[in-house]
Structure 1
């Protein structure tokens, strides 16, 4: 099984300066839904791992988050794709949980649900936290420049070894392109 784990805000949808609090605010980044569809059609499983501290801060309810994820799922299906698992962390930085990225808890949860070794998994994100969670599990980290991605790349030394793409669509192009034999 091939599995890719995507961060949500800044990778699949536009990143707001505050938590998305209702479905209509969830706006896909151009090409992201089609990229997920191409992965699905190529036999990949797709999961989402997203920090959602707005819940613990009282800015969004669980019901609102589920409605936002329902909209995301519907839009992905309309594009011809599928998301197999959506994992989220409702905690804030001060909660000391093991699921909030950069902690790898959500990745372990996804791994257990899909019965897959994380060392075979690709994790795509736009933040240092996403990369740290991937590296903590021996998954393959990949950056996108959308969302906070370019700012993250510009301000963090030590990510030079992490592949970076303009957006999810160009990342998927690279993942699905036939590898040249040497």
Structure 2
């Protein structure tokens, strides 16, 4: 069974911006594509799992989100790091509007997006990794029994308790790539 590198979107894939939904506002986090290429070469499938409460709050709609994600997929592909899929939660339990105001099982820290990805793509969660910038990402990974939960300091403020909750912490995606997928010096091998 294949394994996955699950990536949170805001703060991990793209620079954290206030409810990002426009292509012209998207800026990728430094080191993202190096990390993703290394993960792909190591046999991981790349999947984004993201809470998108901006949809729930009415700041943008699902069509706008999906249009941006089509463009993001194209950028990953151009970088030789193709995304297998994108899973998102459009709900919020208290700030949502209409059908989007609901307590759901897909919003992280719940693990439903990871379970859905595993079922759809026949993934081995116990060999997979989740990378996030918030404790809710780590909690979702733990609830899904992924092999490794990784917290990065590329988005939201990370405190010591959050760092301790994760299996691994990295300040940057460059550092994370070197921790997860170190380059072996062939002369020493």
Determine which structure has more spread, i.e. the larger CA radius of gyration: 2
**Within 5 Å, which residues of 2 pair with 1:76-155?**
76-94=76-94, 95-139=102-146, 140-148=148-156, 151-154=157-160
Aligned-pair CA distance for 1:75: 1.2
Aligned-pair CA distance for 1:72: 1.1
What TM-score does the superposition give when structure 1 sets the normalisation length?
0.88
**Within 2, Cα distance between the matches of 1:22 and 1:5?**
22
The Cα RMSD (Å) is 1.8
Unaligned runs of 5+ in 1: none
**Within 5 Å, which residues of 2 pair with 1:52-91?**
52-91=52-91
Correspondence for 2:169 among 151, 164, 176: 164
Number of aligned residue pairs: 175
Could you list the runs of 4 or more consecutive aligned residues of structure 1 that deviate by over 6 angstroms after TM superposition? none
Unaligned runs of 5+ in 2: 95-101, 185-189
What TM-score does the superposition give when structure 2 sets the normalisation length?
0.85
Query: 3-state DSSP class of the match of 2:72?
Result: helix
Q: Which residue of 1 aligns with 2:30?
A: 30
Query: 3-state DSSP class of the match of 2:40?
Result: helix
